[in-house]
Structure 1
Amino acid sequence: MAADLKQGNEPYDDINITPMLDLAYVLLVTFIIMTTASVQGVKVNSPQTEAAGNLAKPQTRAITITEDGSVYLDAYPVTMEQLSQNLAQYKAANPALPVVLKADARAQYDKVMEVLERAKALDITEIGLVTKRAGA
């Protein structure tokens, strides 16, 4: 029995990995919760549609137009010139840049068209329009 006890500074033959596994599980749960959180941005009242099932791709850029005509790129307010510059930079980094346009149902139509024209000028062809499902 005395031979089983470790003496002084003798190295252990095994490592207790239980605390490490506990930490890994906590990090995994945190990662899952953070990645499934809803897309952050500016709250707008989206128009309703019967079509559903549109999913955003990774590295998708979101353009939001509020009821008063303010334009946001990924939740940051921008002017139309800044929007064009930023989209041009993103397009240079990713030629197949997907963009999602989220406008309030009462937004000025000319603002929506101006954003779409600027995207077309930059040859951005993957544009999704965000709507709500009717009755939701």
Structure 2
Amino acid sequence: MAFKKYLKIKDDMLIDMTPMLDIVFILLIFFIITSAFVDTSGFDYNKTRENALSKQKSDVISIDVSKSGLVRMKGRLIDIQSVTANTQSMLADAPGAAVVIQAERETLHGVVIEVLDMVKMAGVSKVSISQSRE
């Protein structure tokens, strides 16, 4: 008698895996079907990198302000009062261009605001200020 009791307990401990396998296969079929209808869109790889960079450079006017108050446009040193004239001449070449004022970390805020005012007087509507990487 004791032997039958032991076998009965052991039979109750079995777990039926069939419903779990059914669910796994149903989920697998669902993901396979739905992934087949996803539209794969990508980038146009025919464009060259040089064309994209030259287009980006023409749309942005960069003004660098050092911590000592020196202002550079296109790599050349200029006076703060001539920022307006230089910006207007660059806008003539690229109308609608944005201006990025890059200032070093220790630059006085007054100098940056003065450059910002000169750029606004040139008629630029898109201006951003960023910290220089140096």
TM-score by length of 1: 0.51
Give the drift of 1:102: 0.5
Runs of 5+ unmatched residues, structure 2: 1-47
Equivalent position of 1:89 in the other structure: 89
Checking the alignment, whether the CA contact within 8 Å between 2:83 and 2:119 is kept in structure 1 is no
Q: Is the 8 A contact 1:57 1:98 kept in 2?
A: no
Alpha-carbon contact 2:84-2:121 (below 8 Å) kept: no
What CA distance in whole angstroms lies between the structure 2 residues aligned with 1:118 and 1:93?
A: 18
Greater shift, 88-97 or 60-69, is seen at 88-97
2:54 counterpart of 1:64 = no
Change (3 A) 1:67 1:131: closer
Contact preservation (8 Å) 2:65, 2:107: yes
Where does residue 108 of structure 1 map in the other structure? 108
Residues 1-136 of structure 1: matches in 2 within 5 Å?
57-59=56-58, 60-131=60-131
Match of 1:93, as an amino acid? D
- Cα RMSD (Å): 2.5
**Alpha-carbon spacing, 1:104–1:132, altered in 2? closer, same or farther (3 Å):** closer
Paired residues in the alignment total: 81
Higher relative contact order (CA 8 A, sep 6+): 1
Q: Which has the higher helix share?
A: 2
| SS in structure 2 at match of 1:58 | helix
Contact 2:91-2:97 within 8 A present in 1 as well = yes
Classify the secondary structure of the residue corresponding to 2:77.
strand
One-letter amino acid of the structure 1 residue matched with residue 64 of structure 2: T
Q: Which digits, 9 at most, give the CA deviation of each residue in 1:91-134, with x for residues without a partner? A: 2233302111100111011110011101111121112222379x
State which structure, 1 or 2, has the greater radius of gyration over its C-alpha atoms.
Answer: 2
**5+ residue gaps, structure 1:** 1-30, 36-55
* Percent of aligned positions that are identical: 19
- Residues 51-81 of structure 1 deviation map (CA, whole Å, 9 limit, x = unaligned): xxxxx93312210111111111122110023
